[in-house]
Amino acid sequence: MKSHIGGLILVILLGLFALAGALIPRTQVAYAHEISIILTLIAVALGYRIYLHGIRSLRHGNVTAQLFATIAIFISVVAGLMLPSASATGTAEAVGYLTASAIVAFIILAGMTLEDYIIHRTRGALEALTKMSPTTARIRRDGVEVEVPIDEVKLGEIVLVKPGDKIPVDGTVISGHSTVNQATITGESIPAEKTAGDRTFAGTLNEHGALEIKVEKIAEDTTLAHLIQLVEEAQEKKAPIQNVADRFTTYFLPIMAILSSSVFAVSYFALGFDVALARTVTVLLVACPCALSIAVPVAVASTIGNASMNGIIIKGGTHIEKLKDVKLVAFDKTGTLTVGEPKVVEIKTFGNYSEADVIKYAAVAEKFSEHPLSKAIIAKATEMGMKIPDPTEFKTIPGHGVDAYYGNKHILIGTKMMETEISEEANKLMNRVESEGRTAIPVALDKNVIGVIVVADTVRENSLEAIHRLKRLGVKTAMITGDNTRTAKSIAEQTGVDEYHAELLPEQKVAVIREMKKGNVVAMVGDGVNDAPALANADVGFAMGAAGSDVAVETADVALLGDDLTKVEYAISLSRKAFTRMRGNIVYAFIWNIVALSLAALGILNPVLAVVLAEAGCISVVINSALLLLSKPKPLPHAITVGTEAHPVT
């Protein structure tokens, strides 16, 4: 693009050098022949992309701005080199024709370059998905543990997965206990406990504890492989939209061709060949839709520039046109509407114990635990400024909780660890917490329950505002998640989304998105690998940047560099404003051309003045589009409240 801009500047400088003489008919121009040769080489050699595009469009029966520019440039060059009254005398007329042709070439070329700025999605997302699946697996054959390539694993064999390893196959646990981080597949924020009889997915991470898994799906049949296929299929379905200006020029340019022919015929019989040719070339140069050719791409570039300055990367003009029509935005839950990490949100104490006491004893017991919820308790203790001592004794009982001693104090963590009956008050609290989709962790000291710690994935600070902004814009909202219904209901009520869909696997999310698309233009906002197929199948996919996975960012059409979900509404409103500006540019360019055509047909303009007038139209379009760079998000006029209750959709 830099080379095109540099060439355009060179042409303009040469054109201005010749312009002074060109404005005065029959005036001699110094070094006219040398300048003519330079301008001809520039117009013919460096504008080859225009000519190839124009000829190709003609062969396919399409009338485009590039085709009309090719005709105008060709006739202008021929006139400048061969017209007796110009070339023979070395006057400004010859230089004027060639200056006009070169400027037209570079104006159109600049427009084509900006159009090429549309960024296409790379296949990096598919590669990242593929890398998630292990290439080898440990299996037991004839009583011996061996490591084999994943392609050699057979259905029904037993795969051994050690702590910290990725699970290589889809299957069922037959032995062992562990927690598995399967956010990449299901989107669950809290790792799932796995014991005998539980399902596992290829590409998920076994956090602690060994597992023996019976192989049920391998290679292309695994859930992860299915994700890759879904993303690939969705990417192939995405087709670029036809440029607004090109659709308009399909009807406009043939009319201009007829008009120029009429001007030549009338002028030839009335005023002679030289005048007829001059007026015809002038008409063609004015009619050549320079402003039309950049009316859309410059607005697109300005919109993308504004968005990037506000932390939004829109991957091309195609997505701007789609964004303006969005009527429904679907959000993933984990890591998108929520922070994506378990956090202590409530501490209930019993007896004479304080919140600090409950957290202190729980943190001591959980200090060496590998359970994901223990990290939330340790983080809370650290936040409260505590120094956590080591437990005297420590024992984790899989599926039950923690049994520890601190000096002569006996600490029990977990509902199944309680050795005494839990009070009615504590039971009510735990039942309420569980019904809200949160996790209640009772803490007992010397067999007496001293408190309950409530852990949950918390809603992002700006989620409620983001939903409110979208509703103000007239856009409906939904949440789709792989998490359980109780948790989904709680988050939906806290954020104010219109509807929610829970307990969905990636392929089910795709089905929900496809159903939503019936009658709506749908945007999807997500952050994880499990979101990639849904992002690709939505009309517009948004990926969280700082908080999101690389796969989701590469698969999506729009990337949010931070975690601010209010940018979703801004991207939609900016796109609507941009599309209005695009249409305005086209209408303005059309009116401008009509005025200029009238002046050219009457002989008031010469070729160089015609190009100057056309350039003025282009500059006006650029300025109008550049105003998009000044657009800023609008503040909310009042405080935010959740207006309606979300409802589940099955």
Interhelix angle for 290-309 vs 607-626, to 10°?
20
Per-residue burial over 341-354, b = 16 or more CB atoms within 10 Å of its CB, e = otherwise: ebbbbebbbbeebe
Strands 499-501 and 476-480, bridge-based pairing: parallel
Active-site residue flag, 446: no
The number of beta carbons lying within 10 Å of the beta carbon of residue 30 is 10
Q: What is the DSSP string of 428-447?
A: HHHHHHHHTT-EEEEEEETT
Distances, alpha carbon 406 to alpha carbons 359, 387, 393, 394, 419, in Å = 14, 14, 7, 9, 18
Bridge partners, residue 146, by sequence: 139
Q: How far apart are alpha carbons 429 and 157 in whole angstroms?
A: 45
Residue 501: closest CA among 479, 533, 523: 479
- What distance in Å separates the CA atoms of residue 298 and residue 588, rounded to the nearest whole number? 14
Q: How far apart are CA 305 and CA 302, in angstroms?
A: 5
CB atoms within 10 A of CB 432: 12
Where in 309-438 does DSSP place strands (E)?
Answer: 312-314, 328-332, 338-349, 393-397, 401-406, 409-413
CA distance 524 to 535: 6
State the Cα–Cα distance between residues 204 and 197, nearest whole angstrom.
17
Tell me which amino acid residue 403 is: D
Closest among 291, 294, 288, 243 to 65, alpha carbons compared: 288
Q: What is the crossing angle of helices 273-287 and 92-115, to 10°?
A: 20
Catalytic pick from 198, 221, 274, 332?
332
User: What letter would DSSP give residue 449?
Assistant: E
Helix 273-287, helix 607-626: angle, nearest 10: 10
Whether 75 contacts 281, CB under 8 Å: yes
DSSP codes joined into one string, 324-344: TT--EEEEEIIIIIEEEEEEE
CA-CA distance, 220 to 214, in Å (whole number)? Answer: 17
Beta carbons of 98 and 76 less than 8 angstroms apart: yes
| 324 contacts: CB under 8 Å, gap ≥ 6 | 572, 575, 576, 578, 579
Backbone φ and ψ of 52, nearest 5°: -65, -45
The secondary element (H helix, E strand) that includes residue 479 is strand 476-480
* Alpha carbons 187 and 212: distance in angstroms, whole number: 24
- Please count the other Cβ atoms lying within 10 Å of the Cβ belonging to residue 363: 24
- Partnered with residue 192 across adjacent β-strands are 180
Give the DSSP letter of residue 28. Answer: B
Encoded tokens for 357: 């006491």
Instruction: Give me the phi and psi of 213, to 5 degrees please.
Output: -125, 130
Name the token pair of 155. Answer: 């259905």
Rounded to whole angstroms, the Cα distance separating 554 from 544 reads: 11
Nearest to 193 by CA among 411, 396, 431, 449: 396
Cite the active site residues: 332
